[in-house]
Chains A and B, each alone.
Chain A
């Protein structure tokens, strides 16, 4: 499988992270999204007329929606899917349109009503915090239960990268513990702005 990838894209990171957690190999093709706008080049538009990333190519199949890609990657891994995933995949789009937009505005100069994007981001984070808090009341740490699913992987990147868009994560204790649980998963990989938990040696 080939992933047309941009290292700073939260949506591309969803795919890289999911594949890493599954141990599924991906062939990465780096696309110069910024400043090259290579995703709008004729070659890329031939592959994806929408002109967006990520793009996953698996032989004759081309997928351009990160939720579809997460579903396909986990098709043979039912433990990564839950009947509740759909509403959180939809919620992940809200995160992308608010926190993700604020980040693109701050990091690579996207046009945006930044105050509106941040306010929508805070509103989304409050919903996420309320849900994760109720999950914790039931002894559950992830969005749909005691194990992570594609719902968590879809919502994690734009949440964790919120500070890049000027939105603080300090007031959300349940989100903090949820992100820590995701960062603790075997096979977890980083991206710029999201680091893994440190395993530095204590002095002897």
Chain B
């Protein structure tokens, strides 16, 4: 699969972990204190707790349940109940390709050699959920691929679409660097209302 936008850099500051998803794949998306982003399967290998409920400590992500800590490669590095134990290599979290570019965090589930999407100098505005499937949203704009959709408008907006469920997607919106962010944000609210068929 191609690169999929899963969030904006501004929304996931260093030291934070959040839940995200690409269709049926649930992700724990986190940022190290020095600003490196990681996207992992959202399950602790120990007891299946969501790692997105956990917390970032140094360059590790710790599970909230029993505190198992995973290093940036996804390998378990420390088990609080067995402080002297070096955890075996087999205890690791499935990780996915993750990169930040242009203020957007991108994930590729299958790993990809494709270059990251070209944003044309646009800057991130905000992310918002729309109650439409990603394919339905893409169809609305006549696009064949739903990874990125350029929208012709006053703001030169670009919508990067993240498939979530069969009824929802997240839209990560970018616009021209000189755009008024509040104006674009309100335009996005109106666009959502139109797409969802709700009178604004």
A→B interface (CB under 8 Å): 126, 129-130, 133-134, 136-137, 170-174, 176-177, 180, 197-198, 200, 202-203
Contacts and interface: CB of A to CB of B under 8 A. Distances in A.
B179 to A, nearest CB: 11
B55 A200 contact: yes
Most chain B beta-carbon contacts within 10 A, residue among A130, A173, A174, A202? A173
A134 B170 contact: no
A18 to B, nearest CB: 26
7 nearest A-B pairs in the assembled complex, by CB-CB distance:
A171-B129, A173-B11, A198-B55, A137-B181, A202-B57, A203-B78, A133-B126
Interface string B96-109: 00000000000000
Interface residues of B, number: 32
23 contacts: A126-B189, A129-B128, A136-B10, A137-B182, A170-B20, A171-B127, A171-B129, A171-B170, A172-B129, A173-B11, A173-B126, A173-B127, A176-B18, A177-B13, A180-B16, A200-B57, A200-B62, A200-B67, A202-B57, A202-B58, A203-B69, A203-B78, A203-B80
The binding surface of chain A is classed by DSSP as: helix
Interface in B50-82: 55, 57-58, 60, 62, 64, 67, 69, 78, 80
Contacts, number: 51
Contacts of A197: 55
Given A171-B170, A176-B18, A203 B182 contact: no
B135 interface: no
B129 A134 contact: no
Nearest to A137: B181
A145 to B, nearest CB: 16
Nearest to B172: A173
B8 interface: yes
A134 B126 CA distance: 10
B163 interface: no
A130 B57 contact: no
Nearest to B18: A176
Contacts of B181: 137
A129 B20 CA distance: 17
B83 interface: yes
A130 B185 contact: yes
B128 A170 contact: no
Given A173-B7, A173-B11, A200-B55, A130 B19 contact: no
Given A171-B128, A197-B55, 18 more contacts: A130-B185, A130-B186, A130-B189, A133-B185, A134-B185, A137-B181, A137-B185, A170-B18, A171-B127, A171-B170, A173-B11, A173-B18, A173-B126, A173-B127, A176-B11, A180-B16, A198-B55, A203-B80
